Amino acid sequence: MERRVMITNHQMLALVVISTIGASSLYAPAALAHYAERNAWYLLLVGGAIGLFNMFVFVWLDRLFPGKNMITISVSLLGRWIGSLVAALIIFYFIDVSTWTLREFSQFFIIALDPTTPQVWYMIACAIMCSYAVYHGLEVFARVSEIIFIVILFTFLGIYLLLVNQYHPEYLLPILENGFIQPLKGLMVAVSWYGDLMFISMILKHVRKTEQTSYYAVGAVGLIACILLFSVLACTLIFGWRTTSTFTYPSISLIQNIRIFTNIERFDAVLIAVWVMSSFVKITVYFWSALQGITDLLRIQHPRMFIVPLAIGFVICSKYKVWGLIELAAIYDKQAWYFVSFQLFIPTLLLAVALLKLKVFKSG
């Protein structure tokens, strides 16, 4: 009998936080400042509330269908044909997110480090690392994520503390001068970032359940909100919202302001290292989710044989997705509804169908 794959609550929390704050910590300050100006923090908090609801949906589905993931839940709820179609769409989304993140990974290296190296080599290197992690399984890269989580957490806290003497609180004034509704124009974008936790629908069945599991899930969303909030506030308090909205990577520009003992600088390399680690975890966990989804939908006995073909497909799709960073950012901004449809709307619909069936069953 095959040993069941299990991870702890701490590992679940680490995977969720790392995968969500990676790209978001780089893009969030500029994107939210564009929509909400100096009130970007407010937009982020409202998005966090919806992100919390999103997490509740996945936890609730896990309680209604213990031992099942989003793929098997879809088939169980909607029947073999419709359920399989929905499951196939979800698997496609997992693959799509992996390729978008892989393209981000390579694009970032081209801009921040070495533009002379062909982009495809960065993609191949990342795909090989993630394939190796997926080959060894969820338990292995979940343990690695615990170490990465500690590094990332202390890195972000250290950065914002070192910048305290450069903050200008007056840049946040006046607060919500146009009311509570006007800053929410970019809410879909903020919600899509929190929705990066969708892969939890595939790993919850592997979490060693305790009375605190739900609190860890909620705590993960809270940590994500806090880290992103610090990022947005720090950029606004130092640059002001107008300047922040013009940067490609505001957080990188933010760190370049750090000086210690007048001659220790270039802390942006630290953030680059942190971002690389978080991108690795995000691609790996979505890669694993796609592989697990294919395995459950097609009832494959030896899923590892699909790792290499999937990795090759990721590299090819990532290379030809967009022509550059501007188009990539525009997709995230203008097409946020696409990501939210899979992250929030489809799971919520599945939960509604499950509750309706449960009610009908009880009344009948």
User: What is the tens place of the pLDDT at every residue in 114-169?
Assistant: 777 788 898 999 999 999 999 999 999 999 999 999 988 888 888 888 888 889 99
Residue 26's alpha-carbon distances to 17, 95, 269, in angstroms, are 15, 22, 14
Residue range 218-270, pLDDT digits in tens: 999 999 999 999 989 999 999 999 888 888 778 777 776 666 555 555 566 77
Q: What is the DSSP string of 123-147?
A: HHHHHHHHHHHHHH-HHHHHHHHHH
Q: How many CB atoms lie within 10 A of CB 337?
A: 12
Give the model confidence (pLDDT) of 39-81 as tens digits. Answer: 999 999 999 999 999 999 999 999 999 999 999 999 999 988 9
Q: What are φ and ψ of residue 264, in 5° steps?
A: -105, 115
Structure tokens at 33: 């400042």
What's the mean pLDDT when you consider all of the chain? Answer: 88
Q: Check if the beta carbon of residue 186 is closer than 8 Å to that of residue 34.
A: yes
Task: Please classify residue 78 by burial: count the beta carbons closer than 10 Å to its beta carbon, then call 0-12 exposed, 13-18 middle and 19+ buried.
Answer: middle
Res 31: pLDDT: 86
Residue 135 CB coordination number (10 Å) = 13
Q: Residue 227: which of 8, 55, 19 has the closest Cα?
A: 19
> What SS3 class is residue 362?
helix
Q: Distance between CA atoms of 109 and 112, rounded to whole angstroms?
A: 5
Q: pLDDT tens across 290-347, in order?
A: 999 999 999 998 899 999 999 999 999 988 887 766 677 777 778 889 999 999 999 9
Using CA atoms, how far apart are residues 145 and 138, in angstroms rounded to an integer? Answer: 10
Task: Using alpha carbons, list the distances in angstroms from residue 202 to 229, 302, 361.
Answer: 27, 18, 26
Q: Pull the structure tokens for residue 164.
A: 């305290």
